[in-house]
């Protein structure tokens, strides 16, 4: 089957995207995911009003490193003129590879202002926003959206066609409605129907927790690319594993505890070098630490300690002590469910 052409250079015919995620897909995590096989990354979504007013906190989140390319900047808002201004400023100041419009965020504070998936209640407005942004920048304009506002307005193919006609160059679908939030299941059949209906590349998104999920989605939907969001939490290697499954090459093993900790520390060092506020950065990084240690023996106790760190140096100490515990755990041949596990010394774990 011939693949559709992406409007910017991608290294593979079926690119793997890191989804834009507020508070997660910041520059250090984007760089880490690129290093572990993500082909394209997108910034966390940013307010068009914040950008056009050059709000310092918003502008700081637009920074990216050369090794993050290809990268898109995602903007949200409900005023076409503000969205156009934001796109023009982003283009002039940062020159990403594309500008992405968020029509999918279900969070109340965004929807309340008709941003994100709130725009799906007015598809005329959606078209107006896409056209305004497309006129304001020479960069490709892409979109990420949901299947509709609610079940009554669920029409992913109709929405997709209108966005394509308005000028969208890539269409990413999270196959849930806004009212579903993240409950229930993503309807991959909808992604398949949209991929068949559109002339532009279609990305499938939703319910990808593992590389096997990503490959199943690709086989099921025949999408032109895969966008991985929450499935990357604490496991950036999911991209390399997915690529291997797609290419039919040996799948890299999931990192063991020591390698997983090394990746987490590498991530932490990148955050240290990127953020100005060291304590604030450490506090924000706690969520990543919780994801990296998910499923390990005594993980609840380990997470409790990691969620109290105020300094990145503490993380290395906790990991070192946990590895001592883990070696004893393996030496005694215990399973995580064995009662004796809790009796092992896990002093700083």
Binding site as annotated, residues for FMN = 20-22, 74, 144, 174, 229-230
Nearest CA to 189 among 145, 221, 154? Answer: 221
Residues 226 and 206: their CA atoms lie apart, in Å, by: 10
Residues 100 and 169: their CA atoms lie apart, in Å, by: 10
Q: Exposed, middle or buried, 165 (CB in 10 Å: 0-12/13-18/19+)? A: exposed
Q: How far apart are the first and last CA of the chain?
A: 51
Structural tokens at position 170:
């890539």
Q: Are 191 and 217 in contact (CB under 8 A)?
A: yes
Q: Write phi, then psi, for 16 (nearest 5 degrees).
A: -105, 120
Q: Are 212 and 188 in contact (CB under 8 A)?
A: no
From 33, 105, 119, 346, the catalytic residue: 105
CA torsion, points 331, 334, 340, 341, in degrees to nearest 10? 90
Structural tokens at position 139:
């960069």
Helices (H), the chain: 27-35, 48-52, 56-60, 80-94, 108-111, 123-136, 156-166, 188-197, 211-221, 238-247, 257-274, 278-292, 299-306, 312-331
Residues 6+ apart with CB under 8 A from 296: 257, 302, 322, 326
Residues 181 and 310: their CA atoms lie apart, in Å, by: 32
Structural tokens at position 260:
């997983």
105 a catalytic residue: yes
Determine how β-strand 46-47 pairs with β-strand 71-76.
parallel
- The residues annotated as belonging to the active site are 105
């Amino acid at each position: 089957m011939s693949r559709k052409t992406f409007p910017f250079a991608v290294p593979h015919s079926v690119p793997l995207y890191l989804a834009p995620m507020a508070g997660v897909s910041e520059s250090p995590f984007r760089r880490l995911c690129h290093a572990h096989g993500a082909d394209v990354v997108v910034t966390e979504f940013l307010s068009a009003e914040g950008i056009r007013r050059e709000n310092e906190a918003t502008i700081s989140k637009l920074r990216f490193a050369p090794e993050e390319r290809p990268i898109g900047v995602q903007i949200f808002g409900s005023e076409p003129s503000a969205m156009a201004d934001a796109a023009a400023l982003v283009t002039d100041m940062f020159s990403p590879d594309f500008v992405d419009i968020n029509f999918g965020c279900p969070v109340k504070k965004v929807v309340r202002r008709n941003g994100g998936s709130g725009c799906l209640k007015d598809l005329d407005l959606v078209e107006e926003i896409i056209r305004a942004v497309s006129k304001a920048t020479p960069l490709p304009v892409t979109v990420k959206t949901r299947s509709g506002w609610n079940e009554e307005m669920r029409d992913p193919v109709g929405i997709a066609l209108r966005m394509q006609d308005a000028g969208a160059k890539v269409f990413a679908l999270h196959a849930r409605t806004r009212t579903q939030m993240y409950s229930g299941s993503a309807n991959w059949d909808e992604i398949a129907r949209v991929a068949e209906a559109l002339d532009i590349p279609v990305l499938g998104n939703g319910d990808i927790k593992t590389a096997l999920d990503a490959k199943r989605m690709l086989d099921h939907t025949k999408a032109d690319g895969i966008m991985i969001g929450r499935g990357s939490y604490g496991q950036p290697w999911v991209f390399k594993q997915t690529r291997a499954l797609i290419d039919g090459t040996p799948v890299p093993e999931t990192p063991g505890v020591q390698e997983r900790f090394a990746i987490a520390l590498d991530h932490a060092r990148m955050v240290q070098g990127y953020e100005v506020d060291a304590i604030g950065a450490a506090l924000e990084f706690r969520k990543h630490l919780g994801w990296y240690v998910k499923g390990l023996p005594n993980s609840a106790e380990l997470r409790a300690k990691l969620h109290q760190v105020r300094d990145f140096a503490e993380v290395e100490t906790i990991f070192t002590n946990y590895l001592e515990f883990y070696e004893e755990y393996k030496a005694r041949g215990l399973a995580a469910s064995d009662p004796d596990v809790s009796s092992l010394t896990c002093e700083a774990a």
